[in-house]
């Protein structure tokens, strides 16, 4: 085991203990492959499944694993042919049995931090889908809430703004300037301090660096 893997394992123990205190259902997998297999087993045949935009789901293989399944109904906005269809999928996703996403950050004290532009992902996290399954690489874990928010604003959002071709100050400077530009991707900051109902939100931490 490499020192990084060792570090991720130790930090995951601390984080999971605190996530469990907050009634999240938690798991640790060393690799994306294990995490994808575990998450797939959680979703029974016949389920309606949706997911939020996420580099973690793409990099881990979770997105393609879901797309390969023929025994579930997948609400995939990538298949939408118009903005109206995307909107319809966002609304239907709130009734899904399972909703997959990552978290922009997770504090070692067990809080989830998500910053969302449209709000569809944050909405599904808060209420609607029967189960939410979060896959997150250990690079998303921050020591404190302040550092978690700073990480999203100064690392994840600038990279996402570049990925999405948004004309924001952070895309140009690499740092958040708390903008209100039309292209801003930071409309909602959601801190999830517990899962209600208990274990509705499942968190699978992965001992790898995934997403931003
Ligand atoms: S508030 Fe604006 S500048 Fe700050 S991270 Fe979000 S989009 Fe970038």
Taking every pair of Cα atoms in the chain, the longest distance, rounded to a whole number of angstroms, is 49
Q: What is the pLDDT of residue 78?
A: 87
Rounded Cα gap, residues 28 and 31, in angstroms: 9
Rounded Cα gap, residues 60 and 108, in angstroms: 22
Per-residue pLDDT of the chain (212 residues; tens, 9 = 90+): 899 999 999 999 999 999 999 999 999 999 999 999 999 999 999 999 999 989 999 999 999 999 999 999 999 998 888 999 999 999 999 999 999 999 999 999 999 999 999 999 999 999 999 999 999 999 999 999 999 999 999 999 999 999 999 999 999 999 999 999 999 999 999 999 999 999 999 999 999 999 99
Q: Which residue segments constitute the domains of the chain, with CATH numbers given?
A: 3-142+194-206 (3.40.50.10420)
Which residue has the CA at smallest separation from atom 3 of ligand 1?
Answer: 176
Which residue has the CA at smallest separation from atom 6 of ligand 1?
Answer: 186
Out of 117, 174, 186, give the residue to mutate to test ligand 1, the one with the largest number of ligand atoms within 8 Å of its CB. Answer: 186
Going by C-alpha positions, the residue among 162, 163, 105, 110 that lies closest to residue 137 is 105
Rounded Cα gap, residues 83 and 67, in angstroms: 21
Q: Is 159's C-beta closer than 6 angstroms to any atom of ligand 1?
A: no
What does pTM read for this prediction?
A: 0.95
Which residue has the CA at smallest separation from atom 2 of ligand 1?
Answer: 179
What torsion, rounded to 10 degrees, do the Cα atoms 19, 22, 26, 32 define? -50
Rounded Cα gap, residues 175 and 7, in angstroms: 28
Going from the Cα of 78 to the center of ligand 1, the distance in angstroms, rounded, reads: 25
What torsion, rounded to 10 degrees, do the Cα atoms 189, 118, 15, 199 define? 110
Which residue has the CA at smallest separation from atom 7 of ligand 1?
Answer: 184
Q: What is the pLDDT of residue 210?
A: 97
Nearest atom of ligand 1 to the alpha carbon of 186? 6
Token code pair at residue 159 = 């990279």
Which residue has the CA at smallest separation from atom 4 of ligand 1?
Answer: 176
Q: Which residues pair with 60 in a beta bridge?
A: none
Out of 176, 180, 187, give the residue to mutate to test ligand 1, the one with the largest number of ligand atoms within 8 Å of its CB. Answer: 176
Going from the Cα of 110 to the center of ligand 1, the distance in angstroms, rounded, reads: 25
Going from the Cα of 167 to the center of ligand 1, the distance in angstroms, rounded, reads: 10
Out of 153, 155, 156, give the residue to mutate to test ligand 1, the one with the largest number of ligand atoms within 8 Å of its CB. Answer: 153
């Amino acid at each position: 085991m490499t020192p990084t893997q060792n570090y991720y394992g130790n930090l995951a123990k601390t984080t999971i203990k605190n996530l469990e205190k907050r009634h999240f259902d938690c798991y640790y997998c060393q690799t994306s492959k294990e995490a994808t297999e575990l998450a797939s087993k959680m979703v029974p045949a016949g389920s309606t499944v949706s997911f939020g935009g996420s580099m973690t789901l793409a990099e881990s293989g979770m997105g393609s694993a879901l797309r390969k399944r023929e025994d579930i109904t997948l609400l995939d906005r990538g298949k939408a042919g118009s903005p109206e269809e995307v909107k319809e999928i966002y609304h239907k996703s709130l009734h899904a049995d399972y909703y997959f996403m990552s978290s922009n950050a997770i504090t070692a004290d067990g809080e989830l931090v998500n910053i969302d532009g449209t709000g569809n992902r944050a909405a599904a996290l808060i209420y609607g889908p029967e189960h939410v399954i979060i896959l997150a690489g250990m690079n998303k874990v921050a020591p404190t809430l302040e550092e978690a928010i700073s990480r999203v604003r100064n690392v994840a959002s600038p990279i996402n703004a570049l990925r999405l071709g948004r004309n924001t100050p952070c895309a140009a400077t690499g740092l958040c300037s708390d903008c209100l530009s039309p292209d801003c991707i930071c409309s909602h900051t959601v801190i999830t301090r517990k899962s209600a109902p208990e274990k509705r939100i499942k968190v699978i931490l992965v001992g790898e660096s995934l997403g931003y």
